[in-house]
């Protein structure tokens, strides 16, 4: 069983803890307990050596949803960076926060209560509804806190910022007042997505819920708008024989045609005047269409048809292009109203020019219905063209379609208006009809739509050129399943466009990871910025703090609770209000109690009536603000700025670092940036990592519906959070999508943590046996053996690299570098080659150096990897230090990040070891080829010298290689030796630029050089060639010459290295081999017999002729390796002996413990 490490730290039992196995889930729990006991997180939030603060902003999650595995991803990134900065000595405060307002919460409550929006205020009071929201929003707080704790995300949850808190709202109001006083907060009438079936506007978020955009088949038509002949349009009537000229415009929503008040063309687009026939009536027509789209209406195949042969009803219709002109010529031309149901205000029916017009589809001319399209509304406003509006009986003025999605019934209209403007005869058949059949459940699904009837009506009056059904994607209300309508509504906006340039400028100073999200997705978004629609017609959210008089002439924006209190007092004085809801509020007292004496939410604020400058009543604008404003304002609001933290705000803003999913680009990232630029003319964050999605292992999006979502709790419970974190960060760069596969976690666990654990276990096992406590003075690195200096050099290189990666917010490379060092260099090479230094032998300087070196590597790795794997690394760090007292910190997270010593980095040494590894690997490969076991010693290897310095380099690592491959000697072969077969390769890098097109032939010519030519090239350093009549002079740099083969030997190549192996096994070598076989067999017997590693034994070997000589000669060696006090030959090894097989010979061996 493992030693209870909590115990041993407090006891005097100074041993390195040894474990029976690696259970990272248990480590997770143990370390959590330890952190709690030591109050580790709180202690880690400190400023070391005046390093100052590293400001991190936590994006507030909404606690009304269950946390998913993707949250582990984002939080691992945040945590790793914050832990790293903490280790560097910075104070990293990390205030947690909760996003508590907004639509998802309201919808969740509606669902739970079984109500719809319309029921709020009737079936349930707003008070009760908001109460339910407030309660619901923290529904899963426990789960969030659990996950945060389990995964080891250090964030201060003691005093989180909560967006529904009155103090938080007060800051939001203050911010809004700043914007209001800058004149960038305004109300406007705009076209917004609206669900007639649900009776409410929809946010863009709702419109982007999965499945909202659906392909639907709608009737589309190309309408013919008759041009009014006047001076401006006269040019259209030239060179044609028809009395009328028509402009063609395509629409997918014919029901908007009665609301048409303008047409739009592109200034730069070229248009044609075409003479042809109306396909339905056969009447001759002259029509205007964009040049690029001519053939979509008039097939090219018909160009040769003769007008004289055309008969009405013919499928193929002749046409003739009469004239070409740019769109600008059409600007200002008037046309006759297409459908005369209602007459709009003066100034309608003009051709306008707009940038948004393209020639991708339709006719290159856009029908404009300002009441039903965003672009339409904008361009009409710009050119002063009136929208089609109707006056209702109640005096209100609105579009031709009512809020239920029906053409306004005549009975609903103002009588006077009907008399003056409405053509009762033509409008009556259509009045009161739904614009989409889905809005009227009494209509059969296959009944003709209003679109169809309008199209048919136009056809009968010769005003349409083409009618066809077309499939296009159209948004649907996710709640009612009915199509969305674009409808004009009132809304408050922030004029973000006024700050566009500055936002772009400041964005360029932000360090984005990955960069492309900053310049691409975010940058493009800023360039195409539109004003921020702040209004939400909902209930649970931050109310807009604006009061206006009924005639909207006077407006007041409230910026604080105390201001509100004062204004209410004034209102009470004039008798508009009886009581002040903020009566008990004490301005200046920032305590929670003081701010809980009132409520800034609806409906309480709605009941507040203020008094205007001129003494009239002012009512609050009923809207709430977009929740994204809540979260984007968190740098200010979490500090209750400027009511608190006024002086030290500079130390809290902007953030040095934030991290969230890339889906927040247009969300939190934008709102943070926008508000900071508008309020403080500053960035909100300096460095940012935006991570990609966490998909399932097949690359599909995780969803509860599909059941492929990974539960973070059980995942961490099963594996522990370290390997999950490690896997997530090292598998791929966080901004690439992660295909989450639990098999990957297992691999990380085995490969990295398993290896590291094994390495530690190995160390602990022998250190405990030898009683190594790092009590000795550090042995100077240059006094340690080559291999120790090598791993220390690599370790210092690693510290440098990992530090640079962390500094650069590149966690993936940092983790990969650490993993590579541990598995490849430390475990697989250093420990493997050094095992013999640890077991047996004297406790001498060499052994101490070995312990010190390995200790140093492990301890440094624990500090390097702690940001990513906080649990296991803390255990490792504590296990190492509790025993030795090298570091006295209570946790690795309180220890400083390692520094590297450039003097200890020896690139030559690293290169030498690389050579050693390669040569060893080649020799082992050769042994395998000729089937000679590594246990069988061999006499020698030969190495051709690839360059002058090679011999010196290899000599330094020779012993390591010889031991590793079990060979006794090395012989170097001089470069010019004739026994070598050489290979020559062209160096394209130097030759390419010089010889260009000749390169291909030259390459071939070089590769066919003979051995003699190569030798002469090598000695003279020059070679001349004739190629395609051109002289080519080659120098040594132009080619690479390697020794490829030594005829008659076993030879292997790797790049420039070549090695040959002498595979002759002499009798003497054979005896040695047999001796080694015995060592192996005896060790196995020891193990099987359950002896302790330190037990001494006695060995008797059967006096078999096959092994007799070997045992005689090497008894001492066998004994030393197996801790045998004596190794003897015996004719009868006695009872308890075992038979072992050596080279297919069976030999009896008796092993007995010395008691």
DSSP letter at 293 equals: G
CB nearer RNA, residue 41 or residue 670 = 670
Smallest distance from the beta carbon of 207 to RNA, in angstroms? 6
Q: Which is nearer to RNA, 373 or 635 (CB)?
A: 373
Among positions 26, 139, 597, 751, the unique one binding RNA when judged by CB under 7 A: 751
Tell which positions 912-971 bind RNA, by CB under 7 A: 921, 924-925, 928, 931, 933-935
What does the H/E/C string look like for 403-465? CCCEECCHHHECHHHHHHHECHHHHCCCCCCECCHHHCCCCCCCCCCHHHHHHHHHHHCCCEE
Active site residue 512: no
Q: How far is the CB of 219 from RNA (least distance, A)?
A: 11
Residue of 701, 985, 1022, 1112 marked active site = 701
CA dist., res. 1155 & res. 1150, Å (int)? 15
Binding of RNA at residue 1086 (CB under 7 A)? yes
Binding mask 762-791 for RNA (x = CB under 7 A): x--x--------------------------
Cα–Cα distance, 731 to 745 (Å, whole number)? 10
287 binds RNA (CB under 7 A): no
Closest by alpha carbon to 264, among 232, 299, 300, 225?
225
Per rule CB under 7 A, is residue 662 in the interface with RNA?
A: yes
Give the integer Cα–Cα distance in Å for 977 and 639. Answer: 79
Query: What's the N-to-C CA distance of the chain in angstroms?
Result: 26
Q: From residue 879, how far is each of 158, 826, 886, 1105 by CA, in Å?
A: 30, 19, 11, 52
Binder among 5, 16, 657, 735 for RNA (CB under 7 A): 735
Q: Does 65 bind RNA (CB under 7 A)?
A: no
Minimum CB separation from RNA for residue 291, in Å? 14
Find the catalytic residue in 704, 907, 989, 1105: 704
- Residue 611: beta bridge partners? 617
668 is catalytic: yes
User: Which residue number, 97 or 754, has a Cβ lying nearer to RNA?
Assistant: 754
Set 144, 174, 668, 790: catalytic member: 668
The one catalytic residue in 638, 664, 852, 936 is: 664
- Is 514 considered catalytic here? no
Question: Catalytic annotation on 617?
Answer: no
Cα dihedral 1005, 1007, 1009, 1012, rounded to 10, equals 160
Residue 419 interacts with RNA (CB under 7 A): yes or no: no
**What are residue 272's DSSP bridge partners?**
289, 324
The conformational region for residue 192 under phi > 0 = left, psi -120 to 50 = alpha, else beta, is: beta
Minimum CB distance to RNA smaller for 497 or for 733? 733
Nearer to RNA, 21 or 183 (CB): 21
* CB 12, min distance to RNA, A: 27
Query: Smallest distance from the beta carbon of 361 to RNA, in angstroms?
Result: 5
Q: 765 vs 973, which CB is nearer to RNA?
A: 765
344 is catalytic: no
| Residue with tokens 């002109």, as numbered in its chain | 325
Catalytic residue among 98, 492, 512, 628: 628
- Candidate residues 560, 594, 687, 1080; the one interacting with RNA per rule CB under 7 A: 1080
Name which position in 375, 554, 718, 1013 contacts RNA (CB under 7 A): 375
Least distance CB 702 / RNA (angstroms):
10
Contacts to RNA from residues 339-358, by CB under 7 A? 356-358
User: Is residue 250 at the binding interface for RNA, with CB under 7 A as the rule?
Assistant: yes
Of the residues 17, 30, 35, 60, which is catalytic? Answer: 60
865 alpha-carbon distance from chain centroid: 21
Query: What's the DSSP call for residue 971?
Result: E
Q: Cα separation of 269 and 330, whole Å?
A: 11
Cα–Cα distance between 923 and 1060 in angstroms, integer? 8
In 3D space, the residue among 441, 423, 373, 421 whose CA is nearest the CA of residue 193 turns out to be 373
User: Tokens for 939?
Assistant: 């006499």
Establish if 739 lies at the interface with RNA (CB under 7 A).
Answer: yes
The answer to the question of residue 366 lying near RNA (CB under 7 A) is yes
The residue among 30 and 376 lying less far from RNA, judged by its C-beta, is: 376
Return phi, psi of residue 421, to 5°. Answer: -120, -25
Cα–Cα distance between 1022 and 274 in angstroms, integer?
A: 77
How far CA 218 is from CA of 254, 255, 375, 473, 950, in Å, comes to: 9, 11, 21, 10, 79
From the list 710, 786, 688, the residue with the least C-alpha distance to 67 is 710
Window 208-237: residues binding RNA (CB under 7 A): 208, 213, 220
Per CB under 7 A, the segment of 540-548, 574-582, 731-739, 1128-1136 that binds RNA is 731-739
Binding to RNA, residues 472-501 (CB under 7 A): 472-475, 486
Applying CB under 7 A, the span of 238-246, 302-310, 567-575, 744-752 interacting with RNA comes to 744-752
Cα–Cα dist 297/311, whole Å:
18
What is the Cα gyration radius of the chain?
42
Tell whether residue 373 is a contact of RNA (CB under 7 A).
yes
Indicate whether 392 belongs to the interface with RNA (CB under 7 A). no
Residues between 519 and 548 with contacts to RNA, criterion CB under 7 A: 520-521, 524
Distances (CA, A) of 728 to 72, 145, 735: 9, 21, 11
Which listed residue (1092, 1126, 1141, 1143) binds RNA by CB under 7 A? Answer: 1092
Site residues for RNA, window 1030-1059 (CB under 7 A)?
1053
- Whether residue 603 is preceded by a cis peptide bond, meaning omega within 30 degrees of 0, is yes
664 a catalytic residue:
yes
Looking at the DSSP bridge assignments, the partners of residue 41 are: none
Binding region for RNA (CB under 7 A) out of 7-15, 298-306, 803-811, 992-1000: 992-1000
Closer residue to RNA in complex, CB, 548/991? 991
Toward RNA, which CB reaches closer, 402 or 964?
964
Decide: is 671 part of the binding site for RNA (CB under 7 A): no
Task: Give the one residue of 199, 587, 946, 992 binding RNA; rule: CB under 7 A.
Answer: 992
Size of the site for RNA (CB under 7 A): 110
Query: 282: which 2 tokens?
Result: 């056969």
Is 701 one of the catalytic residues? yes
The label of the residue with tokens 């909590």 reads 6
Q: Interacting stretch for RNA, rule CB under 7 A, among 169-177, 327-335, 794-802, 990-998?
A: 990-998
Of 708, 675, 674, 677, which Cα lies nearest the Cα of 694?
708
Distance CA 470, CA 221 (A): 10
| Contact region with RNA (CB under 7 A), list: 83-91, 492-500, 881-889, 984-992 | 984-992
Within 814-843, the residues that bind RNA by CB under 7 A are 823, 827-828, 831-832, 835, 839
The residues pairing with 1146 across neighbouring beta strands, listed in sequence order, are: 1141
Q: Which of 755, 856, 883, 891 is in the footprint of RNA by CB under 7 A?
A: 755
The correct pick among 39, 468, 505, 736 for binding RNA (CB under 7 A) is 736
Which pairs from 546-551 meet CB under 8 Å and 24+ separation? 546/176, 546/180, 546/185, 546/492, 546/620, 546/621, 547/608, 547/610, 547/618, 547/619, 547/620, 547/621, 548/618, 548/619, 548/621, 549/612, 549/614, 549/616, 549/617, 549/618, 549/619, 550/616, 550/617, 550/619
Q: Smallest gap, in angstroms, from Cβ of residue 128 to RNA?
A: 32
The residues pairing with 743 across neighbouring beta strands, listed in sequence order, are none
Question: 32, 115, 126, 374: which one contacts RNA (CB under 7 A)?
Answer: 374
The verdict on 1117 binding RNA (CB under 7 A) reads: no
Q: Give the helix/strand (H/E) hosting 236.
A: helix 234-237
Name residues contacting RNA, limited to 838-877 (CB under 7 A): 839
Q: Counting contacts by CB under 7 A, is residue 1106 touching RNA?
A: no
Contact 322, 286 (CB under 8 A): yes
List the catalytic residue out of 99, 810, 874, 906. 99
- Just list the catalytic residues: 60, 99, 628, 664, 668, 701, 704
């Amino acid at each position: 069983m493992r030693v209870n490490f909590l115990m041993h730290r407090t006891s005097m039992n100074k041993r390195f803890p040894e474990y029976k196995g690696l259970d990272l889930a248990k480590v997770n729990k143990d370390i959590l307990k330890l952190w709690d006991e030591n109050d580790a997180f709180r202690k880690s939030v400190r400023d070391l050596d005046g390093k100052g603060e590293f400001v991190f902003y936590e994006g507030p999650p909404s606690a009304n949803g269950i946390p998913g595995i993707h949250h582990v991803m984002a939080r691992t990134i945040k945590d790793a960076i914050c832990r790293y900065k903490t280790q560097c000595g910075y104070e990293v405060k990390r205030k947690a926060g909760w996003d508590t307002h907004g639509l998802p919460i309201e919808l969740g409550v509606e669902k739970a209560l079984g109500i719809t929006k319309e029921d709020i205020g009737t079936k349930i009071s707003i008070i009760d509804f908001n109460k339910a929201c407030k309660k619901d929003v923290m529904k899963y707080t426990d789960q969030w806190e659990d996950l945060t704790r389990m995964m080891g995300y250090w964030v201060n949850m003691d005093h989180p910022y909560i967006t529904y808190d009155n103090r938080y709202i007060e800051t939001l109001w203050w911010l809004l007042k700043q914007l209001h006083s800058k004149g960038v907060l305004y109300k406007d009438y705009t076209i917004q997505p609206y669900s007639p079936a649900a009776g409410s506007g929809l946010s863009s978020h709702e419109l982007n819920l999965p499945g909202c955009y659906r392909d639907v088949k709608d009737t589309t038509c190309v309408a013919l708008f008759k041009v009014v002949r006047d001076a401006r349009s006269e040019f259209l009537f030239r060179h044609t024989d028809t009395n009328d000229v028509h402009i063609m415009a395509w629409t997918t929503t014919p029901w908007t045609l009665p609301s048409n008040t303008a047409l739009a063309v592109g200034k730069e687009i070229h248009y044609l005047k075409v003479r042809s026939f109306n396909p339905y009536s056969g009447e001759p027509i002259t029509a205007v269409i964009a040049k690029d789209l001519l053939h979509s209406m008039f097939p090219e195949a018909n160009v040769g048809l003769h007008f004289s042969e055309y008969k009405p009803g013919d499928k193929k219709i002749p046409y003739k292009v009469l004239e070409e002109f740019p769109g600008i010529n059409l600007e200002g031309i008037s046309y006759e109203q297409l459908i005369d149901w209602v007459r709009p205000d003066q100034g309608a029916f003009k051709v306008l020019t707009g940038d948004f017009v393209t020639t991708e589809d339709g006719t290159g001319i856009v029908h404009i219905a300002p009441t039903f399209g965003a672009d339409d509304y904008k361009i009409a406003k710009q050119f002063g063209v009136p929208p089609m509006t109707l006056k209702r009986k109640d005096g209100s003025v609105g579009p031709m379609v009512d809020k239920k999605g029906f053409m306004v019934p005549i009975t609903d209209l103002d009588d006077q208006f009907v008399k003056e403007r409405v053509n009762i005869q033509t409008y009556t058949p259509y009045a009161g009809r739904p614009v989409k059949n889905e809005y009227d459940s009494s209509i059969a699904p296959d009944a003709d739509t209003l679109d169809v009837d309008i199209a048919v009506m136009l056809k009968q009056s010769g005003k349409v050129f083409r009618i066809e059904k077309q499939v296009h994607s159209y948004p649907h209300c996710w709640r009612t399943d009915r199509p969305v309508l674009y409808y004009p509504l009132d809304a408050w906006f922030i004029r973000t466009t006024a700050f566009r340039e500055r936002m772009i400028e400041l964005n360029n100073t932000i360090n984005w990871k990955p960069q492309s999200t900053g310049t691409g997705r975010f940058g493009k978004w800023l360039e195409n910025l539109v004003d921020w629609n702040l209004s939400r017609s909902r209930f649970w959210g931050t109310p807009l703090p604006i009061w206006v008089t009924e005639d909207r002439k006077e407006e007041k924006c409230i910026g604080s609770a105390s201001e509100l209190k004062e204004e209410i007092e004034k209102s009470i004085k004039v008798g508009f209000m009886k009581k002040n809801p903020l009566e008990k509020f004490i301005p200046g007292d920032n305590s929670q109690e003081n701010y809980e004496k009132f409520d800034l939410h609806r409906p309480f604020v709605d009941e507040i009536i203020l008094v205007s400058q001129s003494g009239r009543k002012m009512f609050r604008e009923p809207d709430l603000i977009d929740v994204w404003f809540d979260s984007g304002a968190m740098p200010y609001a979490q500090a209750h700025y400027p009511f608190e933290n006024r002086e030290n705000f500079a130390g809290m803003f902007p953030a040095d670092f934030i991290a969230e999913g890339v889906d927040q680009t247009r969300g939190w990232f934008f709102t943070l940036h926008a508000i900071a630029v508008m309020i403080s003319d500053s960035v909100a964050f300096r460095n940012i990592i935006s991570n990609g999605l966490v998909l399932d292992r097949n690359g599909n999006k995780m969803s509860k519906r599909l059941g492929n979502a990974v539960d973070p709790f059980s995942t961490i419970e099963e594996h522990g959070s370290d390997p999950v974190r490690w896997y997530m960060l090292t598998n791929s760069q966080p901004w690439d999508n992660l295909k989450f596969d639990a098999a990957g976690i297992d691999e990380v666990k085995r490969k990295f943590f398993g290896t590291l654990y094994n390495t530690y276990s190995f160390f602990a096992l022998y250190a405990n046996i030898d009683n190594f406590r790092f009590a000795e003075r550090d042995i100077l690195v240059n006094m340690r053996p080559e291999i120790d200096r090598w791993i220390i050099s690599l370790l210092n290189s690693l510290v440098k690299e990992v530090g640079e990666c962390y500094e650069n917010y590149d966690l993936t490379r940092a983790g990969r570098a650490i993993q590579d060092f541990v598995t490849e260099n430390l475990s697989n090479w250093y420990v493997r080659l050094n095992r013999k230094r640890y077991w047996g032998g004297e406790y001498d300087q060499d052994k101490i150096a070995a312990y010190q070196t390995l200790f140093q590597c492990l301890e440094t790795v624990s500090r390097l990897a702690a940001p990513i794997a906080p649990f296991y690394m803390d255990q490792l760090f504590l296990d190492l230090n509790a025993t030795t007292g090298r570091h006295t910190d209570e946790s690795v997270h309180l220890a400083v990040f390692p520094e590297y010593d450039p003097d200890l980095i020896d690139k030559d040494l690293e290169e030498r070891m690389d050579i050693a590894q390669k040569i060893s690997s080649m020799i082992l490969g050769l042994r395998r080829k000729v089937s000679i076991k590594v246990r069988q010693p061999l006499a020698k290897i030969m190495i051709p010298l690839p360059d002058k310095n090679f011999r010196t380099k290899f000599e330094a690592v020779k012993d390591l290689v010889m031991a590793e491959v079990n060979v006794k000697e090395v012989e170097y072969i001089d470069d010019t030796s004739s026994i070598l077969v050489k290979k020559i390769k062209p160096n394209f890098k130097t030759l390419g630029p010089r010889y260009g097109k000749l390169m291909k032939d030259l390459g071939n010519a070089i590769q066919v050089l003979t051995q003699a030519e190569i030798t002469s090239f090598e000695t003279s350093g020059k070679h001349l060639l004739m190629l395609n009549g051109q002289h080519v002079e080659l120098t040594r740099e132009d080619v690479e010459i390697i020794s490829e083969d030594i005829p008659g030997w076993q030879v292997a190549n790797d790049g420039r290295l070549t090695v040959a192996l002498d595979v002759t096994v002499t009798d003497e070598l054979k005896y040695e081999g047999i001796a080694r076989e015995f060592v192996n067999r005896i060790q196995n017997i020891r193990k099987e017999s359950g002896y302790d590693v330190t037990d001494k034994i006695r060995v008797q070997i059967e006096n078999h002729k096959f092994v007799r000589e070997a045992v005689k000669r090497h008894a001492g060696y066998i004994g030393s390796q197996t801790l045998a006090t004596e190794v003897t030959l015996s004719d009868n090894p006695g009872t308890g002996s075992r038979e072992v097989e050596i080279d297919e010979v069976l030999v009896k061996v008796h092993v007995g413990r010395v008691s």
